[in-house]
Structure 1
């Protein structure tokens, strides 16, 4: 919102400098973006009177002028303007002055005659809108500017010595979209009275009118219209043009300029129709018809839809309500009769229409924030008075004032105790009443602690008691509200077990040499097919987004693996082939009526070399294999203290895993799957464009969080040494080594310290369909040193169990 200092002082006689006003407005919550002097480049331009004019002896289109500039001698100026004449007052630029466009004026000879300055046009001084064709030098009328005298500064003589102030308004302050609203704020902090151009408007009665108005949509809260006959369309006087230019508006003609001036003054947009171009002399406030189009004042053809509110005559739409008028009824030089509109439209309706049409105007800026429904007749009365003064004409008696849609204002209760409690102040009720009355908010005392307030119509943002308390805070000054440090009890919040476990898992994966990946939760719907998932798999049923970023990101993910595969492909394609990536995030399943079911998972992918950059060549070139990903998962489970889980072979290999390279994570003797690890199949890698082996793990952190982790415990360090005996058994190929480990732990009893597989052999000297599994078994007694006899008993028991249960055969060295 732009206004000028002199314009503001017409409503409140403040003597503070512009910079101080800007600072005070900012403290009131109205942030000032700019404070700029107007036309600073015109300080050296003076008023001159053309004393004599004669033809240039060497040029037909030039004249020699003798001008008075306040000095004792006349100044000779060569001029090429067609309108120069003796006796006129004009703007003179003396040598050494730089014009706003950057042109520096010098004394020089033009066609052999000395020119000691330049008589300027409005365009050359930057006082005319861009694109205006120059009609010659400025011709200043003494009747319009009394007291013109040669040598007087042009800025002062024309009232150009002013300052533009721009305020960045928040959407909840529509009352400050007019200069009067800002003047009200200044009056509030300065204690000065606010003077309005129109105190009250006459009551309008329809009577016998040559036009009619019908409101057919609830989005129009108020609609006032009056007729002005016999106007003369002409350029606006200089003061009006300068005022509009100062705030960034382009002057058009005296009638349109008045509507823009009143809009900037009251914050009330208005529109003037050429009454003779309205079919049937009728105004209809209605919804647009299906397929209806209209050409707006900017020359663009607009396609309307039935949700849009329009102003129509008996045949067609002539304006888009609250946004822009139509070309079919615009005011032109031939216009004689004006139908003036001043209305209040629903803010949401205007906002929706402006967004749909991509059409933002000064009018929509105000209607979108909400205008004062009681300001419509006042602004109309102000505009009619100015139009009669500047364009002549007679106002037809009576008019239309539809007000059935004006909402009832809320009735608010303001409690003094609540004010002081929220602000930390000790205000009394008299002070509260005084500061609120400064901005025309008054109330009735219910008691010594309470006010009953009906907010004024121009404050459509005041809806609750807290809004009034905010007004009190900003009016007394935020800098005057005492500050105190909050008293915060220094206690730690209870630790969230799931969050702690999540951070622990992240730390364990980082310790395993992984880098964390973070991917979007919305993914490509083709991921399920790329993984080869069957139609009945729950991971194929994804939740679709209403407004996706793209077709490749239109559903919510149900698994983390495709995202990590895409990360792997990107890295491999950029020559980074050694990968250890993990992601900890949520997946989403469309279950339930409203919200999807969310599950937190952890997934990782390994690919490339096991030890890239190792000092020994053969170590550095060794590729990762299934046991790397399996070991990473085991280390993760150990770090999270889930000793109740084990990795076992699955009855069925998923379609994305390589057969023989897949394990599932389950509880002992349980059927619930908590995760898996394996190697991606060749078909999946081909679908993702990856040409090297990739191993993966995928576990459900949500299911793990439901389990009880093992409690930390401590036992004293062993006092006696351990004994290691090796054992190699020949067993059928289908026997799982994990089952053999479980059997050894079962038979080992208290003497068994730990057992490890150190070799699995197939080949020479081993029969077909069989394999050799070698174990390193560590025995220890907590009470004494073991001897071969005691160990032999337990070792023999283990051999017997393996032979009977697994049809094993002891393999001799």
Structure 2
């Protein structure tokens, strides 16, 4: 929105400097983009009177002019056809820089000296006329600066408006904001328009689309004379970058900038039937706008029509078939309020943006429609000699009165942190023409004006109070930062520890989409009643293979494994921590976190071949992964990894090659080998092992307390034993039995060999166990260790139905 300081001062009594006004507007939330003097190119251009004109001796179309510029006579060569003695005209003195960067210098033109240039209005950038040099009033004093003589000493201010402030897309709206700060009311040209009667009018208006056109007013002015606008009007438009056209069009543009209400003038004699119909476009209808472009219309586009055809694209641009031209004598003036959404949609589809659509898209004041109409018809009558036809049409069935809002003083003070009285709050709102009524000592009933479409809630009014009182007066406080460590999410901390452990073991983290293919359940061989088949289906999936939310992480990792193997990367260690989704009757699915991992290829891919570099991974590797995770979480004594999983629970696993991760009686997950059928279904061509854990359930177990023990001062003693036990005896149970015997000298027990074959009876195996003994207060002797060791052997033979293996 552009305006000038002198224009603003016509409506608000203020002597503030431009920089001060710009500062006020910025603090009011209206960003000022520019604040510059008008017509800076006119520096060095003065008023001059041609005293005498002589023919140029060397050119038929040039003349020599002796001009008086206030300091004696100056000879200037001129080629304008209207150069004559006695003419008062602008003179650009040497050194002046005209629009376009043209610098005036003394020069010889066809052998004659010329000290300056007599200028046309177009050369000075203040009008389009270039038929001759500009003719000024004869009573102007020679030597006076042209900008001062023509009243062009002014400042142009440009404000960048936010979409919620259409009221400031007018000079009156800007003046109202300034008045709210300095405590003065604006003086509009038309305050209370006369009531319009539609009796005995030579025209009629019919609004079919009331929702798209809440208000439509029209008046008729006869016997107008089309011609150029007076200088003051042209100067106003030129100062804000608008091109003057003729007196009628210039008036509609001027009032639009003044009131923020777009207007449109129709040539009344071109309207069929003297009728205006506001309706939506018909199917297949087209329309030629004033710019000569033809547009194909759509049924939701609002049109202004006469009795036969469309004559304007409502709120955007008029039509070529009803435009005002030099032969126009009767004007039908339109002032309307159109739906902001409809105008925005039409302008977007037709790729048209005009000054009118800019304002209608944001919302115009329905109560400003008759005021702008009255202002325009008065100017038309004054500047074109027109006769205003008594009465007019004002269709206002769609206008809705703004609803009152209750504003609490206590709430205002609490949000702003300022000790404002209720009277001060009310005065701030009243200063920008917001109606305020006091209900009690702490409550106001506020009725937003129709031009403030952005005031809907109590907090909107509180923001207005802050703007008018001044944002810079709001108290400044430092944020309160508590000096304590914020509570961490336990599940997030658990996930971080697991990630650190797995990356340390050589795993890479995978992140897959939560949207998967429903065929994954079939590839895993899940039973029809398996809970993992109950998935959440997407209403609008991106693709068929992304139509459900995953219930397990393993299919995504198997696809990652296949992609790696297909690209010749056979040694793969991947894991993923993410949510799975199980539908609930309440609507929102359950979203627990799970951990899944796949391991395939060689156990030590970087080691030399002679040192087990080609040894493939097996189930012990994934068991070790689970064990390491439990140890890092200090859950090794609470959660165990053991055999005994029914095949129907994991149909995708190799029977007999699965271990359950248990916490008491609860199964927290599994680790094991994929079946060849499952691997073939996913296109994986090598053996692979998996880990699948309910990570969220781990949070229900308390980790073991951290303990400290001093470094041992005495040496340890290590004794071995070899027992022949039944083949089904679990090695983990054997170690647990040794640790559980309760002797304080036992420091550690570990299995270092398991053997079956020669000299070992079928159905049995040899298990070699190494036991480390240490005392904290002395060095152990063989006799003491031997007694304890013998008791352990006897306990193991008895408990596991074994026998000592002879060397």
TM-score by length of 2: 0.81
Q: 2:695 aligns with which of 697, 701, 706?
A: 701
Q: Is residue 262 from structure 1 mapped to residue 255 from structure 2 by the alignment? A: yes
Query: Within 1, Cα distance between the matches of 2:606 and 2:65?
Result: 90
Match of 2:37 in 1: 37
Q: Which structure: larger Rg?
A: 2
Q: Which residue of 1 aligns with 2:741?
A: 750
Match of residue 357 from structure 2: 364
CA distance in 1, matches of 2:566, 2:383: 74
Of the candidates 433, 448, 458, which is equivalent to residue 451 of structure 2?
458
Name the SS of the counterpart of 1:436 in structure 2: helix
| CA apart distance, 1:608 | 9.5
Q: Distance in 1 between matches of 2:570 and 2:77?
A: 81
Q: Deviations over 1:282-341 (max 9, x none)?
A: 333334444544444455554544444443444444444434444444444444433322
How far apart are the structure 2 equivalents of 1:282 and 1:223? Answer: 13
How many Å separate the matches in 2 of 1:681 and 1:713?
A: 43
Residues 679, 685 of structure 2: 8 Å contact kept: no
Select the residue among 356, 360, 376 that pairs with 1:383.
376
Q: Aligned partners of 2:81 and 2:173: how far apart in 1?
A: 45
CA contact (8 A) 1:78 1:113 kept: no
Could you tell me how far 1:570 is from its partner in structure 2? 11
SS at match of 1:165: strand
Change (3 A) 1:466 1:522: same
Match of 1:167?
159
Q: CA shift at 1:19, angstroms?
A: 0.6
Distance in 2 of aligned mates of 1:76 and 1:391: 38
CA contact under 8 A between 2:623 and 2:671: conserved in structure 1? no
Partner of 2:470: 477
Q: How far off its partner does 1:12 sit? A: 1.0
Change (3 A) 1:747 1:212: same
8 Å contact kept, 1:68–1:150? yes
Q: 2:525, 2:651 within 8 Å by CA — same for their partners in 1?
A: no
Aligned to 1:434: 427
- 8 Å contact from structure 2 (residues 62, 77) kept in 1: no
Q: Which residue of 2 aligns with 1:791?
A: 789
Q: Distance in 1 between matches of 2:299 and 2:389?
A: 34
> Match for residue 199 of structure 1?
191
Q: 1:741 aligns with which of 723, 728, 732?
A: 732
Question: C-alpha displacement at 1:398, in angstroms?
Answer: 1.6
Tell me by how many angstroms 1:222 deviates.
1.6
What's the CA shift for 1:183? Answer: 0.4
Partner of 1:342: 335
Structure 2 counterpart of 1:117: 116
Quote how far apart the aligned CAs of 1:20 are. 0.6
Q: Is the 8 A contact 1:528 1:539 kept in 2?
A: no
Which residue of structure 2 aligns with residue 213 of structure 1? 206
Unaligned stretches of 5+ residues in structure 2: none
Change (3 A) 1:714 1:331: same
SS in 1 for 2:6: helix
The 1:362/1:724 distance shift into structure 2, 3 A limit, reads farther
Distance 1:211 1:155, change over 3 A: same
* Residue deviations 1:563-607 (CA, integer Å, cap 9, x gap): 879999999999999987765444556666754543434456779
**In structure 2, distance between residues paired with 1:692 and 1:103:** 82
Residue matched to 1:104: 103
| Partners of 2:562 and 2:682 within 8 A in 1 | no
- Is the 2:517–2:548 contact (alpha carbons within 8 Å) kept by the matching residues of 1? no
Offset of 1:385 from its aligned partner? 1.8
Q: d(CA) in 2 for partners of 1:389 and 1:355?
A: 38
Check the 8 A contact 2:658/2:672 in 1, yes or no. yes
Stretch moving more, 417-426 or 181-190: 417-426
What do the CA deviations read for 1:332-359 (whole angstroms, capped 9, x no partner)?
4444433322222333444444455554
Matches within 5 A, 1:243-282: 243-282=236-275
Give the corresponding residue for 2:171: 179
The total of aligned residue pairs comes to 790
In the TM superposition, 1:19-34 aligns within 5 A as: 19-34=19-34
Over the aligned positions, Cα root-mean-square deviation in angstroms equals 4.9
Q: Tell me: CA distance 1:331–1:709, structure 2 relative to 1, closer, same or farther (3 Å).
A: farther
C-alpha deviation, 1:402, in angstroms: 1.6
Kindly tell me: are residues 307 and 811 of structure 1, through their superposed partners in 2, closer, same or farther at Cα, counting changes over 3 Å?
farther
Q: Distance in 2 between matches of 1:219 and 1:510?
A: 63
Conserved? CA contact 1:528–1:540, under 8 Å: no
> CA contact under 8 A between 1:650 and 1:662: conserved in structure 2?
no
Shift of 1:241: 3.7
Counterpart of 1:498 (choices 485, 491, 496) is: 491
Q: Tell me the CA shift for residue 203 of structure 1.
A: 0.5
Does the 8 A contact of 1:530 with 1:687 survive in 2?
Answer: no
Q: Distance in 2 between matches of 1:150 and 1:573?
A: 92
Distance 1:168 1:16 in 2: 21
Q: 1:188 Cα shift?
A: 1.9
Relative distance call for 1:428 and 1:111 in structure 2 (3 A) is: same
Secondary structure, counterpart of 1:167 in structure 2: strand
Offset, 1:529: 6.5
Deviations 1:93-125 (A, max 9, x none): 233333332233322233333332233444444
> Matched residue of 1:12: which SS?
coil
State the shift of 1:407 in Å: 1.4
Q: Please list, as runs of the form range in 1=range in 2, the aligned pairs for 1:1-20 lying within 5 A after superposition.
A: 1-20=1-20
Name the structure 1 match of 2:641: 646
Over 3 Å counting, the alpha-carbon distance change for 1:422 and 1:333 in structure 2 is same
Q: Distance in 1 between matches of 2:546 and 2:36?
A: 48
Q: Which runs of 5+ in 1 are unaligned?
A: none
Does structure 2 retain, via aligned residues, the 8 Å contact 1:760–1:771? no
Relative to the length of structure 1, the TM-score reads 0.80
CA 780–323 in structure 1, closer or farther in 2 if over 3 Å, else same: farther
Q: Give the Cα separation in 1 of the matches to 2:160 and 2:493.
A: 46
CA displacement, residues 200-228 of structure 1 (integer Å, 9 cap, x when unaligned):
21111111222222243323322212223
Q: How big is the shift at 1:377? A: 0.3
Alpha-carbon deviation of 1:248? 3.9
